[in-house]
Amino acid sequence: MDRGLTGVSARIRHWVQIGFTAVTNGYAKGFAEGSIYTGSSKAFCVPGLNCYSCPGALGSCPIGALQAVIATRNFSFSWYMTGFFLAVGALLGRFVCGWLCPFGLVQDLLYKIPLGEKILKVRGDRFLRLLKYGILLLFVLLLPMFVLDLAGQGEPWFCKWICPSGTLMAGWPLVMLNEGIRQAVGFLFAWKSMILIVLIVLSIVVYRPFCRYLCPLGAIYGMFNPISMVRYRVDRKKCTSCGDCQKACRMNICVSENPNSAECIRCGACLSACRTNALLKMSFPAPPKSLAKE
């Protein structure tokens, strides 16, 4: 039985996702005119994968910003962005993916469409999950850092060749709204649109395929899951190993064995599913009292 996140908790999560997406993409003028926001708030990054060329974006995308800094002549390492990932990772880990990422919200909504049979485990799942680390290493770090033009400037390889969030939030709206941009589209736009369309179709039957297999931001935040302030603990005295938490987990994680898996997006479905309250969420500023007694 795939229960997912039940009732009120699921609704709260979706409203948080919608609210956060609306607030961080609240520049309505950009959507009306087919332009982007140019204010100073864009020096700061939002935690989720949110393209800074989205007409409504008020902040920067952390993956785009990282590539922008390391691709310049002056910097080969970004202290600013490394610090950002450390800080957000320590505070929230992949809670960002489950609650604050606009592209995660899109995939969540697509999965709700009652079309086809939902696939919980994809063939080659374990190997495919490693892809995101390869993408992080190659497309986000190495290629922008080492493949330079004559002026010594690199390119944001992930944004250019893969990022479906950029295509959805910036590419498609701007091509629709801006005549000049519409005339400039070519092979690259078609390639990126194809990636996005494949992911949209996949998201209807597979829960969050981009987050599972491709997202470099999820790969970074996932490394912080075991030490993040938002993390899960299993109370072994209460756990009956019934497996309800794993059945409820759409990311297909064995929660009772590995509650802080790098794949966990902290959606909370396992917490709702646990009948004995053996799963506990630890969050800032202090863990629950029952844990302190453990």
Partner 1 sequence: MRSLKQTKTTKNKTYDERAAVNRIRQRLAPAVVLFAGAVFMLAGIYRGEMDVVLRKAINLCLECIGIG
* Nearest partner of 21 among 46, 53, 42, judged by Cα: 46
84 binds partner 1 (CB under 8 A): yes
Residue nearer to partner 1 on the CB measure, 125 or 155: 155
d(CA 284, CA 257): 23
* Structure token digits, residue 40: 């100073």
Query: What is the nearest approach in angstroms of partner 1 to the Cβ of residue 2?
Result: 31
d(CA 115, CA 203): 11
Q: Which stretch binds partner 1 (CB under 8 A): 20-28, 133-141, 214-222, 286-294?
A: 286-294
125 binds partner 1 (CB under 8 A): no
Q: Which helix (H) or strand (E) holds 231?
A: strand 231-234
Residue nearer to partner 1 on the CB measure, 4 or 30: 30
56 binds partner 1 (CB under 8 A): no
**Cβ neighbours of residue 126 closer than 8 Å, sequence gap 6 or more:** none
52, 59 contact by CB (below 8 A): yes
> Hey, which residues between 186 and 205 contact partner 1 (CB under 8 A)?
186, 188-189, 191-193
CB environment 113-145: b (16+ within 10 A), e (fewer): eeeeeeeeebeeeeeebebbeebbeebbbebbb
Q: Which of 101, 106, 163, 219 binds partner 1 (CB under 8 A)?
A: 163
Residue nearer to partner 1 on the CB measure, 66 or 273: 66
Which residues sit at the interface with partner 1, rule CB under 8 A? 36-40, 42-43, 45, 51-53, 57, 59-60, 64-65, 68-69, 72, 74-75, 78-91, 155-156, 159-160, 163, 166-167, 170-171, 174-175, 181, 184-186, 188-189, 191-193, 224, 227-229, 284, 286-287, 292, 294
